[in-house]
Amino acid sequence: MSINMRIGINGTGSLSTLDEVIAEAKRTEADGFDSFWIAQIFGMDALTALAVVGREVPRIELGTAVVPTYPRHPMMMAGQALTVQLATQNRLALGIGLSHQIVIESLWGYSYEKPIRHMREYLSALLPLLNGDSVEVKGEDITCIGGVDVQGAEAPPVIVAALGAQMLKLAGSNGCGTITWCTGERALLTHVVPKITAAAEAADQAAPRVIAGLPVCVTSDPEAAYAVVAEQLSLYGGLPSYRAMLDIEGAEGPADVAIIGDEQHVAAALTRLADGGVTEFSAVIAAPKAEDRARTWDLLKSLI
């Protein structure tokens, strides 16, 4: 059985060393998956890690899900992303996002007053820079004057993490799509897909990529898996952007949108996402037991 949706593995959370990241990416490629993703949180630098992975793993797409924009000036982001393109033979998918107010203001000291404006101005600088053009952006949040010259690198697709209506409109009209997290089936199919698709059509852009990142576990003990996910992801349920998506879902917390069950249950859930317009699945395997992880991996592999 296969489904009409690209399937990738997101190694965030389960990998603590660069050697582990490389090994997981190698296995992901060897088993035929379409992509390998890691997040930029409070550990190793995602773009640097993928540059190293790209020298060891020669074929599949390598993506960030996601890199926060606030601490990286667009010119620095462009230079680093294009350097990763050189290291990976132009296989980077550059996922970027706003992060969250508590991180941006409380931990880093930036203003989060106008996040949509910030992203709009950021993209107005980043996208031309990635294409080799010089820019002169003098916005209220972003000033960027000049260019980046990285010979031999192609502009990577820019995937904008977007959940709210305004961000989805921005992602559809300016980016190549969106990558989501803690966003379940109902929110994806009734909110994310239609809004970003309409925005892309209105801007005469190509059909956007909609990459759904969710915890997934094939198991005979769904209650145990649910408890693990609920504990590990409890923080996300209190973050406003995720809370809004959980409210659309009618979900109490992130564990309620995880895909947990036997092979038939998980395959059916992924098929519904694909049929509803989700173009890609970024699997975060959340398995409490090694045998569950193996079952989950095998089921995902069988759906490619």
Residue for token pair 């409890």 = 234
Tokens of 50: 């993928």
If pLDDT is split at 50, 70 and 90, which confidence band does 5 have?
very high
Q: How many residues would you count in the chain? A: 304
pLDDT at 1 over 80: no
Each residue of 57-73: pLDDT tens digit? Answer: 999 999 999 999 999 99
Question: According to the model, what pLDDT value does residue 162 have?
Answer: 97
Task: Return the pLDDT at 217.
Answer: 98
b/e sequence 142-157, b meaning 16+ C-beta within 10 Å: bebeeebebeebbbbb
Average pLDDT in the 97-119 region?
96
Enumerate domains of the chain plus CATH numbers. Answer: 6-302 (3.20.20.30)
| Assigned token pair, 30 | 């060897």
CA neighbor of 65 nearest in space, from 287, 252, 214? 214
Give the model's pLDDT for residue 123: 98
**pLDDT at position 207 over 90:** yes
Of the listed ranges 12-16, 28-32, 114-118, 178-182, the least confidently predicted one is 12-16
pLDDT higher than 90, residue 303: yes
Partnered with residue 211 across adjacent β-strands are 179, 280
User: Hey, what are 51's tokens?
Assistant: 């540059």
Residue 3: burial class (beta carbons within 10 Å; 0-12, 13-18, 19+)? middle
How much is the pTM?
0.97
User: Taking each helix axis from N to C terminus, what angle separates 290-302 and 263-275, rounded to the nearest 10 degrees?
Assistant: 40
pLDDT band at 50, cuts 50/70/90? very high
Percent above pLDDT 90 for the chain: 96
d(CA 17, CA 49): 10
Strand partners, 282: 8, 213
